[in-house]
Amino acid sequence: MNRGNFHVRDIVQAVLRPIDRPLFFMLAALMAYAYIVLMSASPDRLVALEINILVALTAMWLTARLTPQKLLGLALPLYAVGVLLLVAVMLFGETSKGATRWLNIGITRIQPSELMKIAMPLMLAWFFQQREGHIGVREFIAAGVLLLVPVGLIAVQPDLGTAVLVAAAGLYVIFFAGLSWKLIIPVVVVGVVAIGAIVGFGDQLCQPDVVWPGLREYQKHRICTLLDPMQDPLGKGFHIIQSTIAIGSGGILGKGWTQGTQTHLSFLPERHTDFIFSVLSEEFGLVGICVLLVIYLMLLMRGFAIAATAPTLATRLLAGAVTMIFFTYAFVNMGMVSGILPVVGVPLPFISYGGTALVTLCVGIGILMSIHRSRQAAQ
């Protein structure tokens, strides 16, 4: 019996060894929150959510078991395969709802752009690790080219939401690698001026005969709808209007679980995916939002703590970028459903229903666990 107990204990310890407990507890809290909200928003998807969670946690555990050196060794192959698959999507991809994002490989369809959310920060962290001690302007230019290739291929599909996430993942690595503020400030100034021009001259710029360079017509409509959703309240503005009504009607304590009228009278579109934050806000109110934000804040703080103590340049860059990816997901989703950012199809991290996004995010958690474990081993 004692030998059996020792054997079981050894197995349990082997399973739990890669797991960082603070990260796992925060992840479990977010998944529990997601389950509760989805029980109200779309109870028929609970079984699928359970399967998604199981697959995502398995992917996290497998990633956490790998050393950072092995993860970085996968950077170049993953990046190369991802770019080749994106080119294949452009040439042979399947078109759905006006976008060519899927590649049919016979047994199933895949969306290669999802791979780049992990491959991009891995690739750039590996690149800067190779150039450690010699990082200058040429290295930043090369990193920019490595980033622009997949982002451009994703943007032309078109898939603006994924392009933004992949671009952000790469830019965070470049910034943490020491990009000079002299190069950052001009870009910020241009962005502020452009946003100011759109806000100030929106009526003229949003006329049907005005063409916006570099943007498709539907992307122009998204921005114009953001400026004034009441221009088309039953069409392109419907999503934002109903979402803001749901968020505002929740008040301090919310209407109560399963009592959201916007949700259960089917006024709220995509209530189980992109707009699940609106469901949460309507039923749990400001208190529910604050609870969610506290969990996210704790997750970010843990991620930055791991990044700050990571043993190598590559692991510091990678941990910092992965942590900021979580922030970007949350910021963009909350911004778009509350009417301060265009609707670009970015899910609420660990809350929105969707298997691919959940697996990608949990792989990010696994990367953080792997980096933290390597620091413990080094000590």
* Tokens, residue 41: 């928003």
pTM of this prediction? 0.88
| Per-residue pLDDT tens over the stretch 246-304 | 898 888 988 988 888 888 877 777 788 888 999 999 999 999 999 999 999 999 999 99
234 close to 220: Cβ distance less than 8 angstroms: no
Lowest mean pLDDT among 30-44, 125-139, 206-220: 206-220
Identify whether 158 is preceded by a cis peptide bond (ω within 30 of 0): yes
169, pLDDT greater than 80: yes
Res. 5: pLDDT tops 60:
no
- Cα–Cα distance, 187 to 68 (Å, whole number): 33
pLDDT of residue 241: 85
Lowest mean pLDDT among 1-5, 173-177, 307-311, 343-347: 1-5
330 neighbors 349 (Cβ within 8 angstroms): yes
Cα Rg of the chain, angstroms: 22
Bridging pattern class, strands 99-104 and 109-110: antiparallel
**Token pair of 3, please?**
């030998």
pLDDT of residue 202: 65
For tokens 């959703």, name the residue: 229
Sole residue written with tokens 């080749």: 84
Check: CB of residue 27 under 8 Å from CB of residue 365. Answer: yes
Helix or strand holding residue 166 (H, E): helix 160-176
Averaged over 180-193, what is the pLDDT? 80
Contacts 24+ apart (CB under 8 A), 185-188: none
CA angle 342, 346, 351 (to 5 degrees): 130
Q: How far apart are CA 260 and CA 188, in angstroms?
A: 40
DSSP percent split of the chain into helix, strand, coil, nearest 5: 70, 5, 25
- Asked which of 33-42, 284-293, 349-358 is least confident by mean pLDDT, the reply is 349-358
| DSSP codes of every residue in 254-273 | -S-TT--HHHHTT-STTTTT
134 by Cβ neighbours in 10 Å (0-12 / 13-18 / 19+) ranks as: exposed
Does 1 score more than 50 pLDDT?
no
